Amino acid sequence: QVQLVESGGGLVQPGGSLRLSCAASGSIFYIFTMGWYRQAPGKQRELVARFTAGGTTNYADAVKGRFTISRDNTKNTVYLQMDSLKPEDTAAYYCHANLRRTSWGRMDEYWGQGTQVTVSS
């Protein structure tokens, strides 16, 4: 069994910062991609930032220059540093990974349970 456990959400004022963490645990052979999506009420889930299979990063245009994704491969953990937060960043943030549990197995995708980020004065 594989779990993605997020932490670090909360309420912050506009212009403030938050840091999200996501740790993948369980039987993991290899992680191909890992990153963050978000979903605001009434909207579709969208990519925020992720590490690609080649190790590069993708960012949504709306967060470029304000958010930074990083990772600790020894802990199967990714982080999302969110600075200069805006009310429109308010959403549930979900960790996502594409990984293989065994050397012979297929690649499957996993989602965390989500952590709420609310940006409001």
What local confidence, expressed as pLDDT, does residue 45 receive?
Answer: 98
Percentage of the chain exceeding pLDDT 90: 98
What local confidence, expressed as pLDDT, does residue 3 receive?
Answer: 97
| Banded pLDDT at 81 (limits 50, 70, 90) | very high
What local confidence, expressed as pLDDT, does residue 25 receive?
Answer: 96
pLDDT in tens, 12-63: 999 999 999 999 999 999 999 999 999 999 999 999 999 999 999 999 999 9
What local confidence, expressed as pLDDT, does residue 68 receive?
Answer: 98
What's the whole-number mean pLDDT along residues 93-108?
95
What local confidence, expressed as pLDDT, does residue 8 receive?
Answer: 96
Tokens 């991609």 belong to which residue?
A: 33
Contact yes or no for 38/112 (Cβ under 8 A): no
| Banded pLDDT at 110 (limits 50, 70, 90) | very high
Contact yes or no for 108/27 (Cβ under 8 A): no
Q: How many other C-beta atoms are found inside a 10 Å radius of the C-beta of residue 88?
A: 10
